[in-house]
Amino acid sequence: MDLFTAKAATTESLPLRERAKQALKDYFGYEQFRPLQQDIIDSVLAGKDTVVLMPTGGGKSVCFQIPALLKEGVCIVISPLLALMKDQVDALRAAGIGAGALNSAVSQGEQQDLVMRCRNGEVKLLYLSPERLLSDLPWLKQQFTISFLAIDEAHCISAWGHDFRPEYTQLHQLRSLLPDVPIMALTATADKITRRDIIKQLALAEPNVFVASFDRPNLSLAVKHGLGKKQRDGEIADFIAERPGQPGIIYCMSRRLTEELADTLKAEGINAACYHAGMDNTSRERTQLDFIHDRIQVVCATVAFGMGIDKSNVRWVIHYNLPKNPESYYQEIGRAGRDGAPADTLLFHTVGDLVLLSKLAAESGQPELNAAKLQRMQQVAEANICRRRILLSCFGETAANDCGNCDVCKNPPAFFDGTVLAQKALSAVVRTQEEAGINMLVDVLRGSSRAELLERNYHQIKTWGAGRDVSFADWQQYILQFIHLGLLEIAYDEGFALKITDTGREVLKGQQNVQLSTLVHQTREEKKQKKEARQKQRFAQTVADDTTPEEQLFQQLRRLRLSIANEEGVPPYIVFSDRTLREMAAELPQTEEDMMAVSGVGRHKFELYGQVFIEAIKSFAGGNTDSQGEASVSKKRARGDSYRDTLELYKQGLNVEEIALRRQLNPTTIWSHIAQLYLNGEPMNIKDFVTDGEIAKVKIALEKLGKVTALKPVFDALGGDVPYHKIRLAMAWIEKN
Ligand code: ADP
Ligand code: ZN
């Protein structure tokens, strides 16, 4: 920690913005701020009340952690969950930042010690639970200067939000308790009512409000419709088999479902556990810890799971059932891929769930609001244009382009004239006096003879059996489309009977045509092939590793990370994120400079772990030449391969951001590849990225500085005017020409 106080002292003379950037690099190992982070930090440093709306994984934490480091005094962070606090304090300490938490688990002696460390500047961030606020703040503020208050998960204060917490209402009194201390509120909830409510409840004074894009391009989106329980279980087993060892969460509607699904998966040999609010505290905590520490791969959970989880390497999220609104859906899928590396999400959508959720909405305290939110969720699930566009529109955001990373974009639906199908169904609705629910209607159309149907004499109406040629599941999906198209409505208050609408009547009379999207079917043969592939893959995993050297090294680094984490009693992702390990495996850093250039390797983490990881990489890349010469040769090629992969994508016309995302690398790394490829004589249009003016500036700086190869002196000499990546490109150009 001393190292960092010393470090801070040397940067004191720099302008604040520059110091913020330096702190980002030193403590967190990142080269650049994400959009808005810099402005948010400026606002807090200027002492303004500040509201931050950013999606989960967007990078809210550094927005208060960096000002906390730079400002005099201690930043008080209010956070709703104990587990979350512990996680953040662990992560800060691992990064070399003095932090602590005051909660019921802290003894009197520890408390005194903590306060002392706050007073002498060793602790810059102090986490408090909302329950402790009113009792603790009055005496704390006499012990040391409070630089500002950061309220995490601020939407918990609003009764409009989906996550209201009574203990947060105490925060009303913050302003009067500490009238001169700036307040910062952070949340991943975007809706406008909640936003206004936060400002009002906290009595914020003309706050700067920052709304980041809610888009998380690294999350893929997919929906599967109308699958029964057995089918879903099969799909899930396939899904997991395709992602060996990758941690994921499956959200289920009920406690029982979580238990059943966990059992099913365990029987398939998958390392799974369940989690719900009905379990006792100890087993809940154990499951959570096991998941965080990568000892459990899959958690089948109710929505009670996840809020306290900062785990950055969750690689996928599945919704077994439809969520009740887009906010919950987005927050839950947002728990995947927080490290920015690609992650997958899958949602199962059925009419049954929709009906059940509508009922719950109708019986809730705010029936209209909740029904409207459910309807938006339904629109997302039933989208037949880019699903992300529809999802983002729920948060008031308009996307300029289709995303290319959702199921609709990847596999656009085809349409066909479904007028006759619709007429059959609509006619059956009318002839059953609009009293039949969805399943009964399908039974009528398919000519079933079940008892209830016969009792109601439905077998005598004209449309009985008129849709025998379409399967039960397909009819369900078509009817869903009819509802979505506004031809039919569900009467939630009449036992979910289907009612025909005015538009529906027009279709029935032949005054309007209906376009339906075609359903995708998996043939029996495809299913069989998939199952065989799955078994083969599982067999291959137990017998041999036929993965690439890069993947092998990644797995080795993961194991190294796990053993360090176990020794230190922290979650693995706190040591390094998946993304950081991936970059190491691709880039093979073997010197301090190269290692520090990896995204996520800050100065403190380098001091702690850098050498161990360098050793591991060295021995993988160069060692064991005698017995395993092959491995060494293949690894020596790997660095060149890495450049070639970038070149390949560049030639395909991808831009740097896209290449970085595709390769799971930092854009900085890609820029360095481009510079190197250019130096190697590859046809790179380097002038697309750096102007003659910028090259001239760099040239002058270089002449002044003499012969330097590092970027930082040049950057400083130019007063931060030219970003690092451009300096790198300019230097390559100068060298070459
Ligand atoms: P949130 O609290 O908004 O859900 P976090 O603060 O946990 O998100 O950040 C998500 C991830 O992004 C973390 O792994 C964090 O270290 C990383 N991150 C934050 N800022 C940057 C940045 N400027 N460059 C690269 N990674 C970043
Ligand atoms: Zn899309």
Pair 234, 120 in one domain: no
Assigned domain for 528 exists: no
Please give the structure tokens belonging to residue 515: 């376009």
Asked if 339 and 311 touch (Cβ cutoff 8 Å), the reply is no
Q: How confident is the model at residue 12, as a pLDDT? A: 57
pLDDT digits over 93-149, tens only?
Answer: 999 999 999 987 788 899 999 999 999 999 999 999 888 888 899 999 999 999 999
Pair 390, 479 in one domain: no
With 90 as the cut, is the pLDDT of residue 77 above it?
yes
Q: How far apart are CA 272 and CA 290, in angstroms?
A: 10
Best mutation site among 24, 26, 28 for ligand 1 pocket (most ligand atoms within 8 Å of CB):
28
pLDDT digits over 638-683, tens only?
Answer: 556 778 888 888 888 888 888 887 777 777 778 888 988 888 888 8
Query: Tell me, what amino acid is at 282?
Result: T
Residues 6+ apart with CB under 8 A from 112: none
With 50 as the cut, is the pLDDT of residue 423 above it?
yes
With 80 as the cut, is the pLDDT of residue 452 above it?
yes
Quote the distance between the C-alpha of residue 611 and its chain's center: 30
Which ligand gives the minimal distance to the CA of 62? 1
- Residue % of the chain over a pLDDT of 90: 47
Q: How confident is the model at residue 432, as a pLDDT? A: 94
Question: Ligand 1 in contact with 27 (CB < 6 A)?
Answer: no
* One-letter-per-residue 3-state SS of 251-320: ECCCHHHHHHHHHHHHHCCCCEEEECCCCCHHHHHHHHHHHHCCCCCEEEECCCCCCCCCCCCCCEEEEC
Question: Ligand 1 in contact with 378 (CB < 6 A)?
Answer: no
Of the three residues 150, 177, 211, the one that is the final residue of a domain is: 211
Of the three residues 410, 428, 461, the one that is the final residue of a domain is: 410
Q: How far apart are CA 574 and CA 96, in angstroms?
A: 12
Predicted TM-score (pTM) of the model is 0.69
Q: Give the distance (Å) from ligand 1 centre to CA of residue 60.
A: 7
Please give the structure tokens belonging to residue 270: 């998958």
Pair 233, 198 in one domain: no
Could you tell me the CATH number of the domain that includes residue 471? 1.10.10.10
pLDDT digits over 1-55, tens only?
Answer: 223 333 333 455 578 889 999 999 999 999 899 989 999 999 999 999 999 999 8
Question: Ligand 1 in contact with 321 (CB < 6 A)?
Answer: no
Residues spanned by the domain of 509: 415-517
Best mutation site among 27, 61, 578, 668 for ligand 1 pocket (most ligand atoms within 8 Å of CB):
61
With 60 as the cut, is the pLDDT of residue 465 above it?
yes
Question: Ligand 1 in contact with 30 (CB < 6 A)?
Answer: yes
What does 312-365 look like in DSSP terms, one character per residue?
TT--EEEESS--SSHHHHHHHHTTS-TTSS-EEEEEEE-HHHHHHHHHHHHHSS
Pair 201, 309 in one domain: no
Q: Give the distance (Å) from ligand 1 centre to CA of residue 169.
A: 28
Which ligand gives the minimal distance to the CA of 577? 1
Assigned domain for 388 exists: yes
The residue whose CA has the least distance to atom 2 of ligand 1 is 60
Which ligand gives the minimal distance to the CA of 29? 1
The residue whose CA has the least distance to atom 5 of ligand 1 is 59
Q: How confident is the model at residue 707, as a pLDDT? A: 67
Q: How confident is the model at residue 536, as a pLDDT? A: 65
Assigned domain for 714 exists: no
Pair 46, 184 in one domain: yes
Q: Give the distance (Å) from ligand 2 centre to CA of residue 484.
A: 19
Q: How far apart are CA 692 and CA 723, in angstroms?
A: 15
Best mutation site among 338, 581, 665 for ligand 1 pocket (most ligand atoms within 8 Å of CB):
338
With 70 as the cut, is the pLDDT of residue 545 above it?
no
Pair 160, 207 in one domain: yes
Asked if 240 and 250 touch (Cβ cutoff 8 Å), the reply is no
Question: Ligand 1 in contact with 31 (CB < 6 A)?
Answer: no
CA distances from 106 to 85, 103, 323 (A): 13, 6, 37
Which stretch of 77-86, 261-270, 553-562, 623-632 has the lowest confidence by average pLDDT? Answer: 623-632
Q: How confident is the model at residue 623, as a pLDDT? A: 54
CB atoms within 10 A of CB 612: 13
Pair 385, 419 in one domain: no
Asked if 421 and 518 touch (Cβ cutoff 8 Å), the reply is no
What's the mean per-residue pLDDT of the chain? 86
Q: How many domains does the structure of the chain reveal?
A: 4
Residues 6+ apart with CB under 8 A from 714: 698, 701, 702, 705, 708, 722, 727, 731
Question: Ligand 1 in contact with 62 (CB < 6 A)?
Answer: yes
pLDDT digits over 357-388, tens only?
Answer: 998 998 888 888 888 889 889 989 988 889 99
Pair 609, 629 in one domain: yes
CA distances from 530 to 30, 35, 298, 344 (A): 41, 42, 21, 19
Q: Give the distance (Å) from ligand 1 centre to CA of residue 13.
A: 27
Assigned domain for 720 exists: no
Of the three residues 662, 684, 706, the one that is the final residue of a domain is: 684
Helix (H, G, I), strand (E, B) or coil at 575: helix
Which ligand gives the minimal distance to the CA of 389? 2
The β-bridge relationship of strands 488-491 and 497-500 is antiparallel
Which stretch of 110-124, 224-238, 519-533, 637-651 has the lowest confidence by average pLDDT? Answer: 519-533
Q: How far apart are CA 126 and CA 98, in angstroms?
A: 9
Pair 377, 438 in one domain: no
Q: Give the distance (Å) from ligand 1 centre to CA of residue 101.
A: 21
pLDDT band at 626 (very low <50, low <70, confident <90, very high): very low
Residue 178 backbone phi and psi in degrees, to 5: -130, 70
Pair 623, 569 in one domain: yes
